[in-house]
């Protein structure tokens, strides 16, 4: 009987504590799925970074006070609010998606220096570099099921119309790391000027400024948590994901997540090209492997560049630059020459053509979208419409694809008489990354002293360690 009484009292105490916790929180209780890209090895995850079970977690595995304190210490220009949604995504990235977090740690050194350069140039918060992890999983060729592409997930019409990027079947500059990052900085600056709040700017980056403004009108509030319930489901999870990822990139060690195989960067330099080019021939003459060219130039989609290319940046390996510059004219002339048998110069090309349709009596936007084979949202965007209602006789513009055979070369060049020698080089030896396994009692200065050329500061930098980082036996530290 005493045991039964004890169990009953314990249950009542637990319910009371749970009620106090629930009552003390003023943030929304609904946790919804986020809409972001996942790499190809997780396509079954259906393009969602936060497709978590609905409802409240049965137990929190990480101390809430610890997460709250750490977020407060990390906060700079963007508020890092702590609440249930934020905490749930911290645990999501720490446990359920620990492998994803590890991959982000392995790739970040490749892209963060580029992000930091442009964020500084546009006077934006440095912590915005973590946004790309949620957007694309640091995959430069990321493509969502809605057509958003690249590290910063631009839609085609936004990339073309607002930021002047080339997007077609030959070149898609949304996949160009530098151009996409600069465009993202410009767009985030615009959104912050519109809303005056970074959480609102992030929400608008995810769902569009129009949806955020509608949520403001509907909820009557002007902050993210105030309009939380009026936002689309995927956008509700977007800011909590960003905050959680900011936390994980700074406290990964404390959750036993660390990089193991760092992403290798190929040193490269840029060249500017224009006009028709047979890229396979260019690579062969410049002694560049096709795989290396594709890695360095994810924005180049085809085996050729068409004649209407005015100025495109191509990246080539650093160790090939001197040879290329010495033979530049001969290489480009040869790659730009079109023979009669060059089938690459004559191809079927898909083009977007703008057309219009006249509204008949009784038709609405849904009817028009069904007739022309596009979406209602696309028609609204193209025609700057807010309502689905249409007046008889109104002309609605839309885009459709047509396929035509075109000559991609504007003119032919005489084939050069002199053949270009191909330099055969031994492949450069890859730098081996070395690691050290922490033993009991080790300090950073001890480890630095044991290895020539290593300092405590360098050790902290290459391992992304904080000043007060605690070393635990079994940790693997990168030492070269």
* 159-196 pLDDT tens trace: 988 898 999 888 999 999 999 999 999 999 999 999 99
Q: Is the pLDDT of residue 346 over 70?
A: no
**Amino acid 172: pLDDT:** 93
Q: Is the pLDDT of residue 445 over 60?
A: yes
**Amino acid 446: pLDDT:** 77
Work out the percent of the chain whose per-residue pLDDT is above 90. 47
| Helices and strands (H, E) in the chain, number of each type | 19, 8
Tens digit of each residue's pLDDT (9 = 90 or more) over 111-139: 999 999 999 999 999 999 999 999 999 99
What's the whole-number mean pLDDT along residues 146-158? 91
**Nearest residue to 296 via CA among 322, 336, 265:** 265
Radius of gyration of the chain (CA): 27
Evaluate whether 151 touches 185 at the Cβ level (below 8 Å).
no
Between 58 and 114, the more confident residue is 114
Q: Is the pLDDT of residue 410 over 80?
A: no
For residue 389, the SS3 value is coil
User: How far is 379 from 326, CA to CA, in rounded Å?
Assistant: 51
- Report DSSP state, residue 127: G
For the packed helices 84-91 and 64-74, what is the interaxial angle rounded to 10 degrees?
100
Work out the percent of the chain whose per-residue pLDDT is above 70. 78
Q: Cβ-count burial of 90 within 10 angstroms (0-12 exposed, 13-18 middle, 19+ buried)? A: buried
**Amino acid 146: pLDDT:** 82
**Amino acid 40: pLDDT:** 39
**Nearest residue to 302 via CA among 320, 287, 282, 316:** 282
């Amino acid at each position: 009987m005493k045991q039964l009484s004890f169990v009953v009292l314990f249950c009542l105490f637990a319910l009371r504590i749970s009620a106090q916790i629930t009552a003390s929180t003023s943030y929304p209780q609904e946790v919804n799925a986020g809409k972001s890209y996942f790499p190809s090895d997780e396509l079954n995850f259906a393009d969602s970074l936060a497709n978590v079970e609905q409802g409240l977690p049965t137990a929190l595995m990480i101390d809430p006070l610890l997460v709250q304190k750490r977020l407060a210490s990390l906060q700079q220009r963007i508020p890092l609010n702590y609440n249930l949604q934020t905490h749930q995504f911290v645990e999501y990235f720490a446990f359920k998606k620990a492998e994803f977090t590890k991959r982000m740690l392995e790739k970040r050194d490749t892209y963060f220096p580029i992000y930091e350069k442009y964020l500084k140039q546009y006077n934006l918060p440095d912590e915005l570099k973590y946004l790309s992890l949620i957007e694309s999983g640091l995959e430069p060729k990321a493509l969502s099921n809605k057509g958003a592409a690249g590290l910063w997930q631009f839609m085609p019409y936004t990339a073309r119309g607002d930021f002047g990027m080339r997007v077609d079947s030959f070149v898609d500059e949304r996949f160009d790391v530098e151009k996409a990052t600069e465009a993202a900085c410009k767009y985030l600056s615009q959104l912050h000027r519109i809303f005056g709040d970074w959480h609102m700017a992030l929400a608008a980056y995810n769902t569009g400024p129009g949806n955020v403004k509608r949520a403001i009108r509907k909820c009557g509030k002007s902050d993210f948590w105030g309009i939380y319930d009026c936002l689309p489901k995927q956008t509700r999870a977007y800011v909590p994901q960003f905050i959680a990822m900011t936390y994980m990139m700074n406290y990964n060690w404390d959750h036993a997540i660390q990089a193991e195989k760092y992403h290798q960067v190929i040193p490269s330099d840029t060249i500017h090209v224009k006009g028709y080019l047979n890229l396979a021939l260019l690579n062969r003459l410049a002694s560049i492997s096709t795989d290396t060219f594709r890695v360095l130039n994810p924005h180049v989609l085809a085996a050729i560049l068409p004649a209407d290319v005015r100025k495109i940046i191509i990246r080539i390996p650093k160790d090939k630059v001197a040879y290329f510059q010495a033979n530049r004219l001969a290489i480009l002339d040869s790659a730009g020459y079109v023979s009669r048998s060059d089938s690459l110069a004559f191809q079927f090309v898909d083009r977007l053509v703008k057309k219009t349709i006249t509204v008949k009596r009784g038709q609405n936007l849904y009817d028009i979208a069904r007739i022309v084979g596009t979406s209602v949202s696309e028609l609204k965007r193209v025609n700057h419409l807010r309502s689905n209602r249409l007046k008889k006789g109104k002309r609605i513009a839309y885009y459709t694809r047509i396929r035509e055979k075109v000559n991609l070369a504007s003119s032919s060049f005489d084939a050069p008489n002199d053949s270009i020698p191909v330099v055969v080089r031994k492949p450069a030896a890859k730098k081996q990354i070395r690691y050290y396994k922490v033993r009991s009692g080790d300090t950073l200065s001890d480890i630095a002293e044991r290895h020539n050329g290593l300092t405590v500061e360098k050790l902290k930098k290459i391992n992304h360690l904080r000043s007060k980082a605690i070393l635990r036996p079994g940790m693997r530290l990168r030492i070269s």
